[in-house]
Amino acid sequence: MSRSLTRRGLLMLGAALPTLLRGMAAGAGEASKDQGIGGTGWTAGTDSDQGIGGTGIVGTVQRFGSIFVNGVRVGYSPDVPVWIDGTRTTASSLKIGHVVRVAVMMVAGRTVTRAIHVTSEVVGPVERVTASSLWILGQQVDIARLSRRSRIRPGDVIAVSGIRRPDGKIVASLIEARPDETHYLVRGLAVAKSGALLVGRLKVGPQSSRLAGRRVEMALARTPGGYKVLHLAAETPIPHSHVGGVLYETFVQRQGRRLKSGLGFALDDQNDGPKGIVRAFLDVRFDREGHVVSASRQERAGSQSPDQPGAPAQRASNPDDVPASPATGPQDGVNAPDRTDGSGTPMGSPGGLGAPGRMGGLRSSPAGSVKP
């Protein structure tokens, strides 16, 4: 399949998501006859995937009151299971700026989910810091929109929530401290270059790998000679759920009549638009093997977070600009010290991630051998 995808119409997602989901359900019923291989790519929810099937959302938590992701209000029960980079926790650990992955369904006219997965784009030790960027495991991270970034120091082990630009840079929406013994994680586009498979500047495998051109997820551990890959696989759009379509938050850059996305593919677009890097929301459809079969830009998605240029000087509409409230706390991109580290331990307290001597003074509550 060509890497350039034909645009298949604009869906009015904000108000039209119920219609989209109803269409998904209908498509799922048809797809079930041929195991989801022909036509729509949608599949119905089953007991094996907890009844959550069909469509998903991947994007930044913009505000609470349920959670708002990509402009869509997603409801959940008080005891909804939450995983942060694979570790089970509770909804109280969710923070503005987290990037979440949810499978959604319509219940009584409401968009709801039965599980929330928080996924960091990179977790590991800081290698270098400048005024607007930092580097972790060969990944460049744009931190210009975060306050308190001066508290991040080389050697700090942190988790970065953020969205990739077409050039591979991660635009950070939240930075959190992690224990030194944490397994390191990287998510991103695997590119065949210079005889090797790279994610950012991190070499992860041979150039001939079947993962070339796909987003991957990997776990790593430090070794005397660099890093050892513990796990490397194609990224699952929504963990523990089969979905035929996902509403993704990403960045796009116009190249003539094509839009190059931060997801690793381009789509045709005959409209005129800005040539710089802008935030966008794409409805992406997959086949059962996880390959992209179509994508279209959603002009009305992200109504709570208008398109923002990806240049370092731009501030995020959310999470940085959401007014503080008792429910969310200060929104500065690096969590305030009165929040917890996800284990229930207050940040800054003995044993907490923000305790004295950890993170070089950064206050945080707001996987053969390879080398970067």
Q: Which of 286, 354, 359, 325 is nearest to 53 (CA)?
A: 286
* Tokens 């945080």 found at: 364
User: For the CA atoms of the chain, what is the radius of gyration?
Assistant: 20
Which string of DSSP letters, residue by residue, matches 102-147?
A: EEEEEETTEEEES-EEE--SEEEEEEEE-SSEEEETTEEEE-TT-T
pLDDT of residue 247: 96
Model pTM? 0.70
CB half-sphere exposure, 355, CA atoms < 13 A: 11
Which string of DSSP letters, residue by residue, matches 197-263?
A: EEETTEEEEETT-TTTTSEEEEEEEEETTEEEEEEEEEPPSSTT--EEEEEEEEEEEEETTEEEETT
pLDDT of residue 104: 94
pLDDT of residue 303: 52
Per-residue pLDDT 10s for the chain (372 aa) are 444 443 333 333 344 444 444 444 444 333 333 222 222 222 223 333 333 347 999 999 999 989 999 999 999 999 999 999 999 999 999 999 999 999 999 998 899 999 999 999 999 999 999 999 999 999 999 999 897 776 899 999 999 999 999 999 999 999 999 998 888 999 999 999 988 999 999 998 888 788 999 999 999 998 888 888 999 999 999 999 888 899 999 999 999 889 999 999 999 887 777 789 999 999 999 887 778 899 999 876 655 443 333 333 333 333 332 222 223 333 334 433 233 333 333 332 322 222 223 333 333 333 333 444
pLDDT of residue 99: 98
* Buried b / exposed e along 94-104 (16+ C-beta atoms within 10 A): bbbbbbbbbbb
Q: Which of 217, 53, 50 is nearest to 119 (CA)?
A: 217
pLDDT of residue 346: 32
Task: Say which residues have a Cβ less than 8 Å from residue 256's Cβ, sequence separation at least 6.
Answer: none
Q: Which amino acid is at 317?
A: S
Q: Which of 243, 214, 293, 298 is nearest to 5 (CA)?
A: 293
- What is the enclosing helix (H) or strand (E) of 16? helix 13-31
pLDDT of residue 288: 79
CA distance 362 to 149: 8
Q: Which of 292, 284, 300 is nearest to 17 (CA)?
A: 300
